[in-house]
Structure formats: C-alpha cells, structure tokens
A = this chain, B = another copy of it.
Amino acid sequence: MGAALTIPFTDSGNEVRLWFTEYDEAIWKLVHKGKEHPRIKVRLPDSLKLYRPDELEDAVRGADYVVIAVSSAGVRPVSARIKGLVGGETTCMVVAKGLEEVEGRVFRMTEIVERYAGVKRVVYVSGPSLAAELAKKQPTFVVYSSADISLARSARKALETEYYRIFLSDDVVGAELSAALKNVYAIAYGIATGSSEKAGVPRENLKAAVISKSLEEMGNIIVRCGGKKDTVYGLSGIGDLYVTATGGRNSMFGRLLGSGLSLEEAVEEMKRRGVGVVEGYRNAKVIAKFLAEKRIGREEAPLLFSVYDVLYTGASVEKVFKALAK
C-alpha cells in the first residue's frame, strides 16, 4: 500500500520518498532498477526517491507528511525509530490496520504512533482501497480521519487527485476499529462462502446475513468505544468490509475453513499458497482482549466471538451460522 500511495501522491504534485523495510530488500532491488513493483504490477514514478532499510531517518527528515504503511506489528518499532525526527509541523498519516498489545494493554495504531513517535499531528487513513487498483489509477475513495479535522483537510489539499478522492471525518476511533474488526468479519464471510461450495449450492442469502450482522456488531462495538455508528456505514466500514470480504486473504482463509478443512489444514494450505497467517487470525485474539478491557461481552458480538472460537477454542464452523440467528 505504501508503494501504491506514491502514485497519487506524486500526481498531486509532491516530492515523494519511499522507504523499504528490511523485509522489502528483494522488492527494492527490482524497483531500484526501474522494474515493475512485483506486488502492485506497475512501475513506480521516476521522480520517486528510494530509501533502503537503514536509511529511514534520511527518508523522514524534513518531510511535511510521513505515511506509515507497515504491518500493524511494525508500527511500534518504526514509530520509535522516527521519534525526534518528526514533530512540529510534520503530520503522521497512519495506514496500518489492526490493534496491538503493548505491555499487557491493547492500543489502536494512532495511539501507538502518538506514544512512540511522540507526534501530535496524526491522521488515520481508511476506506476500500486495494493497492493494486490504486496503483493503476483506478477510482478510489478513502477517508482521512483526525480529531482535529483541519489536519485531515490540509492533508487532503496536498494529496488528493482525480482518481484518489478523500473524504474527511473526525471519528478516528470508528475508522480504526472498523479497519481492525473487518478482518475478523471477513473470515466469517469466507466461512459462509466455503460452506456454500461444500454444499454445492449458492448461499448468497447467508452471505448477505453475515455482512448485515457484521455491520450491526461493528456499529455496536464502536459506539461502546466512543466512536460513531455512521462511520461503520460509510467507506471506512461497509466499504472496506466489502472489498476485504469479497476479495482478500482473510476471506480466503475463512473459505478453507468453511469448505471443511480443519484449522490446522487451513493454516497449512495458506502457507502452501504463500500467504501465511492472515491478519484476521492474529487480530481476533487481540480484539477479544480489547473487548474484555472495554467490558464488551460475548453476547454483544456473537458473530465475532464465534469466529474467535473457531480459531482459538476448537469450535466448529456451525457456531458461526448459529450466531447469525442471535
């Protein structure tokens, strides 16, 4: 996603720098030689400045906007590394999705950036944006959220293009929780899809019920955590859930479970496909902990906890279908 974002950010007239993590060395070698980026299948802009893993500090220094687009687990170490280099007029844009546990407590991504990078100007980026489509300049609509909406507005002014349209919101909690929760609900959708393939009969009615129930639970959880219900029903919620459920890896994993594979077999099969452990699997555990901290019980999110139980307590996928009738 970081690489894909360099395309609209360049088109909107900015000097753009791209830093590669230590996991991206192989990609750096290709991009450095002017070759196609292997994940998003496009050549990156010629004007782009490339930075290797040990050059993070150079990449960040003097930037107006620092966009953190690493895995959720990477947000804390990256934030710690850029501390002191960002601040004052720099705005940190956070694209990472998920919740992370630090010293026994669960934090949202922007909380980690604020805490470990020591920045106050933070904007959260969410909404349905598959990187490969954005990189091909296909129409993409996202949301910039910030408690101080003028920050999000300034970022929009600097970064919007004809094909990358930005909406504004002050509901950071709603946007971040939607982004984290949707991965788990996408597994439920995948389970419904897989069960349909196993039965050899379309089950669109069931899949629609999963989406509907997912939104209901996401809305309730977010309101309990101080966010706004409308966020769940916008681009950050249903929009992102739609692309994740109908396309992503979380749903692929659920599909394997729904088609009859055991948890171990499904994990094995995902590895065989070169995908590894999906975010929703890891997230389900930290989300369960987060909900416990917020005193949100199982009865308030039966579908979410049914997926958790399939992943962590040996429950069968039937539990997911039963949760829909609650």
Given the known interface contacts A238-B238, A242-B207, the answer about A201 and B136 at a Cβ–Cβ threshold of 8 Å is: yes
Verify if A263 is at the interface (C-beta below 8 Å from B): no
Contact among B133, B165, B246, B325 with A203 in the assembled complex (CB-CB below 8 Å): B133
Contact among B232, B238, B321 with A211 in the assembled complex (CB-CB below 8 Å): B238
Q: Which residues of B contact A201 (CB under 8 A)?
A: 133, 136, 138
In the complex formed, the residue of B with least CB distance to A131 is: B205
Check if A235 sits within 8 Å of B208, measured CB to CB. Answer: yes
The 6 A-B pairs at the shortest CB distance, nearest first, are namely: A128-B208, A212-B239, A141-B209, A140-B205, A208-B239, A208-B242
The distance from the CB of A241 to the nearest CB of chain B, in whole angstroms, is 8
Verify if A91 is at the interface (C-beta below 8 Å from B): no
Verify if A151 is at the interface (C-beta below 8 Å from B): no
What's the Cα separation between A139 and B242 when bound, in Å?
A: 21
Check if B235 sits within 8 Å of A141, measured CB to CB. Answer: no
What's the Cα separation between A247 and B208 when bound, in Å?
A: 11
Q: Which residues of B contact A204 (CB under 8 A)?
A: 128, 130, 133, 242-243, 246-247
Verify if A215 is at the interface (C-beta below 8 Å from B): yes
Q: Which residues of B contact A212 (CB under 8 A)?
A: 128, 141, 233-235, 237-239, 242
Verify if A8 is at the interface (C-beta below 8 Å from B): no
Verify if A26 is at the interface (C-beta below 8 Å from B): no
B interface footprint on A173-217 (CB within 8 Å = 1, 0 otherwise): 000000000000000000000000001011111111101100110
Given the known interface contacts A233-B216, A234-B212, the answer about A129 and B205 at a Cβ–Cβ threshold of 8 Å is: yes
In addition to A128-B212, A140-B209, A204-B242, 17 A-B residue pairs with Cβ atoms within 8 Å of each other are: A128-B209, A130-B204, A133-B201, A133-B204, A133-B205, A134-B205, A138-B201, A138-B203, A139-B203, A139-B324, A140-B205, A141-B209, A208-B239, A209-B239, A212-B234, A215-B234, A229-B233
Contact among B129, B206, B239 with A138 in the assembled complex (CB-CB below 8 Å): B206
What's the Cα separation between A70 and B96 when bound, in Å?
A: 49
B interface footprint on A120-143 (CB within 8 Å = 1, 0 otherwise): 000000001110111010111100
Given the known interface contacts A139-B209, A139-B321, A212-B128, the answer about A202 and B238 at a Cβ–Cβ threshold of 8 Å is: no
Check if B211 sits within 8 Å of A239, measured CB to CB. Answer: yes
Verify if A240 is at the interface (C-beta below 8 Å from B): yes
Q: Which residues of B contact A140 (CB under 8 A)?
A: 205-206, 209
The distance from the CB of A227 to the nearest CB of chain B, in whole angstroms, is 15
